[in-house]
Amino acid sequence: MEPSSEDFIRECQSSKLAKVISRNSYTHWGELTVYMRVGPRYIDGVKHDRVIDIANVQAKHTGRGTFKKFVKFLRDTFPEYALYVESVLTDRFSDGLLRMGFTLSKVYSNCFYMLAVIGDFQEDHHERRARIQTRATKNRD
Ligand SMILES: CC(C)(COP(=O)(O)OP(=O)(O)OC[C@H]1O[C@@H](n2cnc3c(N)ncnc32)[C@H](O)[C@@H]1OP(=O)(O)O)[C@@H](O)C(=O)NCCC(=O)NCCS
């Protein structure tokens, strides 16, 4: 059986490679089945170290507030993680995500995010490229 969303996120959190690779799994949270990726990812050209990416989600019984409770649980329990919801296909869910406080991605029109509540590490991709180039030059010289 798939792990609970909480157990999976905690396991990813404790990994030594947490800042380098993202891991994915089917998880469950009550009646929700959530396919999630946990780890670093770019959001609109900015790298974030800690992102809970909901790649797919399904409620057993829809419209009972379960997903909203799940978002509240994630914000309360993992405030240092940004949330990202991928590939939302219906206008209904898109509108609901905006009402919940998510922002529509500028890069991927059907993806939504919410930045971390605290301590989010962000690095613009231009800054990152400059940092990598400086390091490569130092190592070469
Ligand atoms: C989308 C889904 C995961 C939301 O979970 P939920 O527990 O039903 O959601 P909640 O009751 O907490 O409501 C949150 C939002 O979900 C959306 N929603 C609720 N019922 C929905 C339904 N039957 N179909 C699509 N979206 C729905 C609404 O936008 C709602 O916001 P609102 O109350 O401001 O209108 C769930 O409805 C579902 O499994 N739908 C079918 C599959 C699907 O569309 N998955 C999303 C793939 S990205």
Q: Where are the domains of the chain?
A: 5-140
The predicted structure's pLDDT at residue 14 = 92
Cα-to-centroid distance, 58 and ligand 1 (Å): 8
Work out whether strand 82-85 and strand 46-59 pair parallel, antiparallel, or are unpaired: parallel
pLDDT of 82 reads 96
Helix (H) or strand (E) holding 133, with range, is helix 125-140
Q: Can you tell me the distance from the alpha carbon of 19 to that of 102, in angstroms, rounded to the nearest whole number?
A: 23
- For residues 84 and 59, what is the distance between their CA atoms, to the nearest angstrom? 18
List residues bridging with 112 in a β-sheet.
85, 104
Q: pLDDT value at position 34?
A: 98
Topology annotation, domain 5-140: Aminopeptidase (3.40.630)
Q: Which amino acid residue places its CA nearest to atom 31 of ligand 1? A: 96
Q: How far is the CA of 63 from the centre of ligand 1 (A)?
A: 6
Rounded Cα–Cα distance for residues 48 and 115 (Å): 9
DSSP symbols for 14-68: H-TTTTT--EEEEEEETTEEEEEEEEEEEETTEEEEEEEEEEEEEESSTTSSHHH
Tens digits of pLDDT across the chain (141 residues): 899 999 999 999 999 888 889 999 999 999 999 999 999 999 998 989 999 999 999 999 999 999 999 999 999 999 999 999 999 999 999 999 999 999 999 998 899 999 999 877 677 777 778 888 888 888 887
Residue 36 pLDDT: 98
Write out the DSSP string of 73-95. HHHHH-TTSEEEE-----HHHHH
Relative to the CA of 68, which ligand 1 atom is closest?
12
CA of 40 to the centre of ligand 1 (A): 26
Instruction: Identify whether the C-beta of residue 51 lies closer than 8 Å to the C-beta of residue 21.
Output: no
Q: What is the pLDDT of residue 138?
A: 84
Per-residue pLDDT, 139: 83
Residue 133: per-residue pLDDT: 86
